[in-house]
Amino acid sequence: MMKVLRKFGLVWLLLALFSACDDHDTPQDVVTQKGLPLSGSQETAAKITPATGWADVSYNKTTHMLTFTLNWANLTGPPTGAHIHGTAARGTNATIKYDFFNDIPKTTTGSYSGSVMVDGTLINETDLLNGLYYFNIHTPTNGGGEIRGQIEFYDQPHIVVAKGLPLEGSQQVPGVSTVATGTVDVMYNKSTHLLSYFIKWKDLKATPTGSHIHGTAPRGANAPIQHDFFANFPQTLSGEYSNSVMVDGVKIKEAELLNGLYYFNIHNIIHAGGEIRAQIEF
């Protein structure tokens, strides 16, 4: 009987050891994000281009290895550069930190998978997890970059995200009758206090004359401008735009932001008070 018990004990010990080994590769060690968009609208200044793309990224906190797959289509010419840049939030530019151009296909549509060590010098883990690096693909027509994709990991305790917030005339006060529509994706980082956003709109009645974040006001009320991003905003009836703003505790306050008391507003000559509005709600 004792021999049988000893055998079972050995089996359980081996199982425990194998389980312990598996713990080194637990999901807590790895953060991933799939389908990060690459677009001309993320360039600073924004580029008008038919090119699109996306990136899948994975970062292993134990090995400090960032792996990625890039896909792109319809570039205006063959790539002349492909890099990771940093550190910079949406709406700002930064220098090259990792050059992988030699390895990518020199085609207007293509795919590439690679990896890079997050060494703490060229690429820093904290800045990476805070969304301060981006992919950039350059072409002859767009030497500074034709499509860009911010590297952002959304599934983290200090990150809150809302996707597809509707931009619509019905949210204006008073309401506006319009066929114009749009969406806003927002990400707020509680560690860096940075609010990042990506806006899409279409079918405005007239070209924009203003684009802002207003606050503080709930739905059904108006408020003054707190963040003006019109200077670099495309003056088009339909378009896309990406930027970020610091939640500084003065113009924009964290508690009010997380309680839905700020909103995006796009104005034009026909609707000076705003044609379409989107309440920022997490």
Residue 21 domain-assigned? Answer: no
In a shared domain, residues 145 and 259:
no
Residue 28: per-residue pLDDT? 79
Of residues 26 and 195, the one with the higher pLDDT is: 195
In a domain, 13, yes or no: no
Q: What is the pLDDT of residues 192-215, one digit of tens each?
A: 999 999 999 999 999 999 999 999
pLDDT at residue 27, as a whole number: 65
Domain span including residue 146: 28-151
Does 138 lie in the same domain as 165?
no
Q: Are both 133 and 179 inside the same structural domain?
A: no
Are 142 and 163 in the same domain?
no
Both 32 and 107 in one domain: the answer is yes
Average pLDDT estimate for 159-163: 98
pLDDT at 12 over 60: no
Q: What is the mean pLDDT of the chain?
A: 93
Q: Does residue 18 lie in a domain region?
A: no
Residues whose CB is less than 8 angstroms from the CB of residue 79 and which lie 6 or more positions away in sequence, other chains included: 101, 104, 106, 107, 137, 138, 139
Give residue-wise pLDDT tens across range 212-256.
Answer: 999 999 999 999 999 999 999 999 999 999 999 999 999 999 999
User: pLDDT tens, 124-147?
Assistant: 999 999 999 999 999 999 999 999
Same-domain status, 131 and 218? no
Q: Evaluate whether residue 16 is within a structural domain.
A: no
Q: Does one domain contain both 182 and 138?
A: no
Name the band, by pLDDT with cuts 50, 70 and 90, for residue 274: very high
- The answer on 173 and 59 residing in a single domain is no
Is 10 domain-assigned? no
Residue at a domain's end among 151, 179, 198: 151
pLDDT tens digits, 56-84: 999 999 999 999 999 999 999 999 999 99
Domain check: are 164 and 254 in the same one? Answer: yes
In a domain, 119, yes or no: yes
Q: Clarify whether residues 187 and 131 are in a common domain.
A: no
Query: Which of 16-25, 125-134, 147-156, 190-199 comes out lowest in average pLDDT?
Result: 16-25
Tell me: do 164 and 144 sit in the same domain: no
Residues 190 and 269 in one domain: yes
pLDDT score of 105 more than 70: yes
In a domain, 275, yes or no: yes
Total domains, the chain = 2
For residue 17, the model assigns a pLDDT of: 39
